[in-house]
């Protein structure tokens, strides 16, 4: 009997593969599912001029905010940054470029790329300012927008459980954008709270199959950033 | 107003409640009321919000509130979540508003130069929910009407709003424009007319209060 390849890696080594100027997808919708440890390592290694694709900009002191504070982020493709005043201020001051996308369309553009498609056709946002500059295609006589697939150089993913081959399972609403992003980048790095031997995840429990994943990093500890936000 | 809006929700519905006032609607439903609450991040069957000390760090709604599961809850990814919205499975959404026009146009995500955090899921909710109702104060903080002839702010979606619940009135969007259906107790129609930035069609007979 053959076996499945082992993709476990050290965090420092995995993040060292990311180059300056990379386009980086970050999982997460708010706190759950955000790869905080990988983001910290990105900041520690000083990767700069990054284009980040993430649902939101987290809150101040969390996740994406560290990239903003360190001046490492050039452009953000996102749906909503209202919970991070620093992101709003940097946008207003022209210090970062922000491209807003309707939330489900961001998810579909990522999913499309992960599925090997060039884009999607949708009437979402037609006749609003989100349609500006987008190609219009006629489908059955109806005008719809061509939304291009979004691909990244790297996706940073947070999973609850992974096996050594990179089969993944997410916890509760920490799933959010992670499964699509795990399909849509040339290098997919996963941080997992639990890394199990092969067979530790039942085939029916797997949300992302291993072939999409390149590196699996075991989180030795869960930092405060992953905890319940005290508001 | 919130208690009145809660009567929008019929048994069996799949419902999404926007952040702010709409979230409070659920507090006015009777225990055991059969309906399904949806959240954009990827959950259906949302139970009560939990205080920080009892919260699950991996379980939030789209507004960031820590919520609880109930028997029958489901978790899924955000693409699945919006597939549900765009394909017509969402019976009702309740949203906030900066402006609602008499033709049902909604502006609720951007005030150029002042407030532009992005629309999140609002565009898809407003455009694709089977019914869109707005919960809002009748006027803004400066006393300016939120119900207007035409929106001046960037639109969320066109012609989407069916009904508006405010602190003053229940108003339907009809082919003839805004129609006053109910009025808050103690107000008279002239006060509502004065606070509304577009013509208001008054009912022929009784005007129920809430």
The yes-or-no verdict on residue A175 having pLDDT over 90 is yes
CA dihedral for A219, A87, B156, A117, sign (positive or negative): negative
pLDDT digits over A11-51, tens only?
A: 999 999 999 999 999 999 999 999 999 999 999 999 999 99
CATH tag, B2-201: 3.40.1080.10
- Under the banding of pLDDT at 50, 70 and 90, the label for residue B4 is very high
Residue B132's beta-bridge partner residues?
A: B93, B161
- Cα(B33)–Cα(B73) distance, integer angstroms: 15
pLDDT digits over B106-134, tens only?
A: 999 999 888 889 999 999 999 999 999 99
State the complex-level ipTM: 0.96
Query: Closest to B43 (Cβ–Cβ): which among A83, A173, A177?
Result: A173
Select the residue from B77, B107, B128, B157 to test the A interface by mutation, using most A Cβ atoms within 10 A.
Answer: B77
User: Which two three-digit tokens encode residue A34?
Assistant: 């955000």
Residue A25's beta-bridge partner residues?
A: A53, A155
Query: Closest to A80 (Cβ–Cβ): which among B56, B81, B117?
Result: B117
Residues in chain A, total: 231
Which chain A residues are within 8 Å of B81, Cβ to Cβ?
A: 104, 107
The yes-or-no verdict on residue A127 having pLDDT over 90 is no
Compute CA A1 distance to the chain's CA centroid, rounded to the nearest angstrom: 35
Q: Is B20 on the interface with A (CB under 8 A)?
A: no
The fold adopted by the segment(s) A11-123+131-156 is Glutaconate Coenzyme A-transferase (3.40.1080)
CA dihedral A217, A223, A226, A228 (to 10 degrees): 160
Which chain A residues are within 8 Å of B124, Cβ to Cβ?
A: 102-105, 124
Is A52:A64 a contact under the CB 8 Å cutoff? yes
- Under the banding of pLDDT at 50, 70 and 90, the label for residue A231 is confident
Compute CA A42 distance to the chain's CA centroid, rounded to the nearest angstrom: 14
Q: Residue B149, exposed/middle/buried by CB under 10 A (0-12, 13-18, 19+)? A: middle
User: Which two three-digit tokens encode residue B86?
Assistant: 């765009």
Strand A73-78 to A50-53 pairing: parallel
Mean of the pLDDT values across residues A213-223? 97
Give chain B's radius of gyration (CA, Å): 17
Mean of the pLDDT values across residues A144-151? 98
Mean of the pLDDT values across residues A127-137? 93
User: Which two three-digit tokens encode residue A22?
Assistant: 């990379």
């Amino acid at each position: 009997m053959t076996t499945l390849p082992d993709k476990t890696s050290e965090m420092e080594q995995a993040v060292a593969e990311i180059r300056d100027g990379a386009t980086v997808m970050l999982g997460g919708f708010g706190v759950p599912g955000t790869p905080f440890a990988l983001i910290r390592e990105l900041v520690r290694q000083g990767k700069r001029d990054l284009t980040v694709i993430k649902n939101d900009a987290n809150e101040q002191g969390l996740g994406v905010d560290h990239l903003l504070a360190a001046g490492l982020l050039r452009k953000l493709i996102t749906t909503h940054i209202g919970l991070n005043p620093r992101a709003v201020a940097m946008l207003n001051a022209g210090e970062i470029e922000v491209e807003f996308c309707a939330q489900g369309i961001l998810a579909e553009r990522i999913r499309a790329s992960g599925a090997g498609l060039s884009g999607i056709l949708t009437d979402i946002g037609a006749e609003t300012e989100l349609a500006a500059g987008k190609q219009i295609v006629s489908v059955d006589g109806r005008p719809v927008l061509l939304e291009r697939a979004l691909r990244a150089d790297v996706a940073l993913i947070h999973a609850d459980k992974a096996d050594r081959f990179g089969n993944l399972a997410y916890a509760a609403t920490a799933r959010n954008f992670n499964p699509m992003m795990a399909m849509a980048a040339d290098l997919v790095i996963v941080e997992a709270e639990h890394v199990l031997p092969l067979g530790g995840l039942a085939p029916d429990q797997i949300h992302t199959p291993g072939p999409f994943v390149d590196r699996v990093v075991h989180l030795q500890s869960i930092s405060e950033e992953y905890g319940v936000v005290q508001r | 107003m919130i208690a009145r809006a809660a009567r929008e929700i019929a048994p069996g519905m799949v419902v999404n409640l926007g952040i702010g006032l709409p979230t409070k609607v659920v507090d006015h439903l009777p225990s055991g009321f059969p309906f399904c609450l949806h959240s954009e991040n990827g959950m259906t069957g949302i139970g009560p919000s939990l205080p920080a000390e009892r919260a699950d760090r991996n379980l939030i709604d789209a507004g960031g509130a820590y919520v609880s599961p109930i028997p029958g809850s489901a978790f899924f990814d955000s693409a699945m979540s919006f597939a549900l919205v765009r394909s017509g499975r969402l019976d009702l959404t309740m949203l906030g508003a900066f402006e609602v026009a008499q033709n049902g146009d909604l502006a609720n995500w951007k005030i150029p130069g002042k407030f532009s955090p992005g629309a999140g899921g609002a565009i898809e909710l407003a455009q694709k929910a089977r019914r869109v109702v707005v919960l809002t104060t009748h006027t803004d903080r400066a006393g300016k009407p939120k119900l207007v002839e035409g929106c001046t702010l960037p639109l969320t979606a066109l012609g989407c709003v069916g009904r508006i619940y405010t602190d003053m009135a229940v108003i339907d969007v009809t082919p003839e424009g805004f129609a006053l259906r109910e009025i808050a107790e103690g107000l008279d129609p002239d006060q509502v007319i004065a606070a509304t930035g577009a013509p208001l069609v008054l009912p022929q007979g009784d005007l129920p209060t809430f």
